[in-house]
Structure 1
Amino acid sequence: MPELELLDYQSHSSLRLDLANAGQRHFVQVVSEEIPLAATEYPILFTKNPDTGAFYAGAVMGLEAGTNLFAADGMLPGYRPADLVRQGFFLHEGRIAVAPGDPVFVPHGKPVFDEQGSATPALQQVQHAMQVLGRGLPETESMIARFVEHRLIEPIDITLDFDDGSRLQLDGLYSTSLDSLHALPDEAALDLFRRGDLQIAYIQAASIHHIRHMARLRNERLFADA
């Protein structure tokens, strides 16, 4: 955890935020309420926290670590997940804290406070993102726990071949098993439906088709850079 400071105008009036900060994020955590929006543009898959082994959901934005195929110039033109919006900001004892040394803060960025000490649109977006994560993380953990209970999460094999002869294999990713979902007893399926989990499961599984688009983007850039 980086060194944090509680955010206030007196201490951080000159703080400026670089919004073109998505270029190296290839996998961004999302919460359940974001999945219907994010899934229109990105594959949504599950992976495991390396420290706890717990599953979490994320938007796949790159096929290789450190590369975002949707934000070549660092700007993300499409849906921007809350975890990406709040880069450099954290929730500490119910208040927003900031890590001033985070590379997201640059002299030429967007101001966080205006001259009157009020939150700028950039900070308002961060505040909204923190609210989304605050309510969404526990809800998503509960949803994933139900998926695990019903054995609905399974590993997914993604191997991609490119025109230059290279091959990429994406490891450590998981998806919803529609076969297992369809085999659920009626009572369990009805419970997932009433909780909204069933909709999320189908949306997540359908979003995998975006992987093909990402492979085309990478293939085009291989030859554009040659």
Structure 2
Amino acid sequence: MARHVMLNNVAHHDLRVITRYGAEFGDNIGTVLTFPTEYGDVQREYPIFFRKDAQSGEFQSIALLGLQPDENLFLEDGAWQAAYIPGIVARGPFLIGFQNQDVNGELRREPVIHVDLDNPRISRSEGEPVFLPQGGNTRYLERIGNILQGIHQGLAVSKAMFEAFTAHELIEPVNVEVKFNAEEQFDLRGLYTISEEKLRRLDGDALYRLNSAGFLQGAFLVIASLNNMKKLIDMKHRQRRKLAGVA
């Protein structure tokens, strides 16, 4: 059960965060949320798909990590085997919260860092320190702040991007089917992607508006990311051989 509190350097002066990865930290997941603000990094490592949120019905971006809900093919020996880790994972036990603050005489809801004290990564004896002995932020916390800012911005960009993609009817459903043999096959449903055909058919004005908003590049990055499906399947092959004791 989560226990979110606002981070501060008095109550949490000795707080540390375990930064290795593994099933014990909930990292054995087949998909993870991603955002347009990190597409450039994500598409180099993972296939990017869309799915609909179960509650709101709105589209979300996801990076595919495995072929099953509880399978993360990028996990190995406590490490994440990729050059880029999606922000929603890299943020660890931290999240954005909001607090009313007086800014030049005006009351505003400003984003502040919160921490989940019940997160299994939280420690007082091992891991990366959050604060310096004198109370200042460590480099680790500065990096977390940048990651959280990217997520915060990405949420807003994502909503506008999907509205634009929907208006131009660019989103289409896709079934991902991977078959190793008659007994072992995977069928991933409920996923969506960009229709290359409809993207090619857009007129100059539509392309200009998408490009001006920065969404055209996002569409191309999503399409390009699908080349990583071969990489993911190769990783699954290696995992199967390892489990079978085959070099």
Global fold match (TM > 0.5): yes
> In 1, Cα distance between the equivalents of 2:194 and 2:185?
25
> In 1, Cα distance between the equivalents of 2:70 and 2:41?
23
> In 1, Cα distance between the equivalents of 2:64 and 2:143?
22
> In 1, Cα distance between the equivalents of 2:235 and 2:10?
45
Aligned to 1:201: 219
Aligned to 1:117: 135
Percent identity over the alignment is 29
> In 2, Cα distance between the equivalents of 1:74 and 1:160?
27
Structure 1's 222 and 163: CA in aligned 2 closer, same or farther, altered over 3 A?
A: farther
The correspondence of residues 1-226 of structure 1 with structure 2, limited to 5 A, is 2-21=2-21, 23-76=27-80, 77-93=82-98, 94-106=111-123, 107-162=125-180, 165-226=183-244
Contact kept? 2:28, 2:72, Cα under 8 Å:
yes
- Describe the superposition over 1:56-93 as per-residue Cα deviations: whole angstroms up to 9, x where unpaired: 11211222222221122342241122211223112221
Q: Partner of 1:140: helix, strand, or coil?
A: helix
Contact kept? 1:189, 1:198, Cα under 8 Å:
yes
Instruction: Give 5+ residue unaligned stretches, structure 2.
Output: 99-110
- Describe the superposition over 1:161-215 as per-residue Cα deviations: whole angstroms up to 9, x where unpaired: 1258400111111100011111223211221122221111111112111111111
Contact kept? 1:163, 1:219, Cα under 8 Å:
no
> In 1, Cα distance between the equivalents of 2:185 and 2:131?
47
> In 2, Cα distance between the equivalents of 1:198 and 1:108?
44
Q: Partner of 1:10: helix, strand, or coil?
A: coil
> In structure 2, what residue type is equivalent to 1:100?
L
Deviation at 1:98, TM superposition (A): 0.8
Deviation at 1:46, TM superposition (A): 0.8
> In structure 1, what residue type is equivalent to 2:92?
Q
Instruction: Give 5+ residue unaligned stretches, structure 1.
Output: none
Deviation at 1:122, TM superposition (A): 1.9
> In 2, Cα distance between the equivalents of 1:74 and 1:67?
15
- Describe the superposition over 1:98-153 as per-residue Cα deviations: whole angstroms up to 9, x where unpaired: 11001222442211112122222221121011111122210121011100111111
> In 2, Cα distance between the equivalents of 1:223 and 1:86?
33
Q: Partner of 2:239: helix, strand, or coil?
A: helix
Greater displacement, 212-221 / 16-25: 16-25
Contact kept? 1:44, 1:59, Cα under 8 Å:
yes
> In 2, Cα distance between the equivalents of 1:55 and 1:126?
26
Contact kept? 1:19, 1:75, Cα under 8 Å:
no
Q: Partner of 1:134: helix, strand, or coil?
A: helix
> In 2, Cα distance between the equivalents of 1:144 and 1:30?
13
| Structure number, greater radius of gyration | 2
> In 2, Cα distance between the equivalents of 1:67 and 1:14?
34
> In 1, Cα distance between the equivalents of 2:8 and 2:129?
13
Q: Partner of 2:133: helix, strand, or coil?
A: coil
Deviation at 1:25, TM superposition (A): 3.4
